[in-house]
Structure 1
Amino acid sequence: MSTRPRPESDEKTRPKPVTLPGLLALKRERQPVAMITAYDFPTALAVDEAGVDIVLVGDSGAMTVLGYDSTVPVTVDEMLTLTKAARRGVRRALLVGDLPFGSYEASDELAVATATRFVKEAGCDAVKLEGGSGVPLARAKAIIAAGIPVMGHVGLTPQTATALGGFKAQGRTAEGARRIADEARALQAAGCFCIVLEAIPAELTEQLMPSLDASLVIGIGAGPATDGQVLVLHDMVGLGSGGTAKFVKRYAELHGPLVDAVQRYAGEVRDRAYPGPEHSYAMPEAERERLDLG
């Protein structure tokens, strides 16, 4: 096929990579951090060129790219394939790999082994896991102790959404809010460099932020008080046919133009309007005269 990966850049043109200390410096300076998802080479290339600070290869790719009904079925090998592709497109941003459901819960040893695969095989700078108490908290501690940076995730945690009553906002009662606050603080105490707060009331985030002074805090549907924001790329650019959450802002509508482009292509093929002479190769006249295929 005609499309090729971009050539390797030399050290003079390669952008300065985002680092964990650099991100925490942005927090101290109150400079908002932009995070986005990507799941393959072309989207990773685009979001990195756009200048985002963190690229997450989220298990949301199970739904947006692989077509599953939820994030639960996606495997480690599938996530590694997506993450390797994204790594080839990301030169500047910090790359975070999402540990899928079932890949870390059973033991500390399994958690460390899975996280290590994301670092060694896919080139991740850090990994993300969901939950901030009990088993997930213990696994986060084990992975951090093994020298791998961890991004935590509390509030609405899609891998366990069924147990939370479905895909809906969390922490809307005082008791629920305290639980989320306790989990976020526990993840910070465990050494997580970053904590994602998903689908929680803005008031909860505002009250929680002063106590989260050591970890970068990224929100998704958590109000404007966090250190930064994250969205699923396919949601914010209108790719795919699924519904979107209240917190999603559409910055583009790419599904329609994509369908239109393919429809026009298919129509031109059927009308024999494509390919035209400008898209075809020709033989030198002398060679054409010599050619006789019988």
Structure 2
Amino acid sequence: MNIEALKSFKQSGDKIACLTAYDASFASVFDTCGIDIILIGDSLGNVIQGGENTLDVSMDDMVYHTQAVTKGAQNALRIADMPYQSYTNAEQTLTNAKRLIMAGAQMVKFEGGCEHEASFKILQDNGIPVCGHLGLQPQSVIEMDDYKVQGRDKQSADKIIKDALALVSWGVKAIVLECVPANLAKQVSQSLSIPTIGIGAGVNCDGQVLVSYDMLGIHVGHVPKFVKNFLIDNGDVKSAVDAFIKAVKDKSFPGEEHSY
């Protein structure tokens, strides 16, 4: 799996299956099962570090976990999150993105749209592949006043569409759409030449991602509507991952009960 293969999914209509991983062991299992993308997510702040949000995750944390995942996964495309306040200006963004690439990431992901134009452009100019992230942005949880579905009204929906089109023009290779209404995610996906990967964004995105702990039913606190436990009906982790991949590919996940 590589950047060129990512393009072919959009062209063929095949769905992209993505899971988060934070260590070599889980990454190896997911890789063996044939997962398309492994996201080294700053969600480790919640599921590994026990934080209420992702804001305390550092660049050193992301580098460490990216190195670990890289040792376990050689086939899946590896995307690493840039953590909170690691891309506040163009030069900082480039320095930190290079650290993640050196650690084994093949692409970096960060949240936001037009407000980060300079950061997107400097990575484009330096040949570093980028995945965008629109809709609910966990790193902006304070500004957004908690975790809420985004894009319900016309103004916010129009901003998501505008940001998505801008990101494409700045060379972004894929965009995660988180917690947006399914009809808006469908509109955005059909408008773009690059893949969208949904989480709480309906079945019409070009792919789906879940936090692996959520997919395995390992929950602490609130369980979002878009989560499905794939372990409960399968005997082991590998079978659960196989079931997740199959459900994404045959479009049986997410169902309406997982969408907004």
The TM-score, its normalising length taken from structure 2, stands at 0.87
Pair 1:63 & 2:7 matched: no
Q: Choose from 126, 146, 169 the match for 2:126.
A: 146
Q: Percent identity?
A: 39
Show CA shifts across 1:219-239 (max 9, x none): 111111111110100011012
Count of aligned pairs between the two proteins: 234
Which of structure 1's runs of 4+ aligned residues deviate more than 6 A? none
In structure 2, distance between residues paired with 1:99 and 1:141: 16
Match of 1:170 in 2: 150
- The answer to whether the Cα contact below 8 Å between 1:115 and 1:127 also exists between their aligned partners in 2 is yes
Q: For residues 33-52 of structure 1, what are the structure 2 equivalents within 5 Å?
A: 33-52=16-35
Shift of 1:241: 2.1
How far the C-alpha of 1:150 sits from its partner, in A, is: 0.2
Q: Please tell me the residue identity of whatever aligns with 1:217.
A: T
Do the aligned partners of 1:129 and 1:140 also contact (CA within 8 Å) in 2?
A: no
Cα deviation, 1:39-68, whole Å, max 9, x if unaligned, reads 011111111111110100000011111112
Q: Which amino acid aligns with 1:223?
A: G
Shift of 1:253: 4.8
Equivalent-residue separation in structure 2 for 1:209 and 1:97 (angstroms): 22
1:127 aligns with 2:108: yes
Code of the aligned partner of 1:154:
L
Match of 1:217 among 175, 180, 196: 196
**Larger RCO (CA within 8 A; separation ≥ 6):** 2
Residues 136, 178 of structure 2: 8 Å contact kept = yes
Q: Which residue in 2 is equivalent to 1:195?
A: 175
CA distance in 1, matches of 2:118, 2:201: 25
Point out the more displaced range, 244-253 or 57-66: 244-253
In structure 1, list runs of 5 or more residues that go unmatched. 1-17, 258-294
**Inter-partner Cα distance in structure 1 for 2:196 and 2:135:** 13
Does residue 1:99 correspond to 2:79, yes or no?
A: no
Shift in CA distance, 242/49, structure 1 to aligned 2, threshold 3 Å? farther
Match of 2:209 in 1: 230
Partner residue of 1:252 out of 201, 223, 231: 231
Which deviations, in whole Å up to 9, do the C-alpha atoms of 1:62-95 show, x marking residues without a partner?
1111112210011100111111111100010000
Supply the distance in 1 between the matched residues of 2:206 and 2:22 (Cα, whole angstroms).
Answer: 24
Listed as ranges, the gaps of 5+ residues in structure 2 are 237-260
Contact 1:239-1:253 at 8 Å conserved across structures: no
User: 2:189·2:195 contact (CA, 8 Å) conserved in 1?
Assistant: no
Is the counterpart of residue 242 in structure 1 residue 221 in structure 2?
yes
Q: Answer whether contact 1:37 1:57 (CA < 8 A) is retained.
A: yes
Name which one, 1 or 2, has greater alpha-carbon Rg: 1
Correspondence for 2:11 among 28, 33, 36: 28
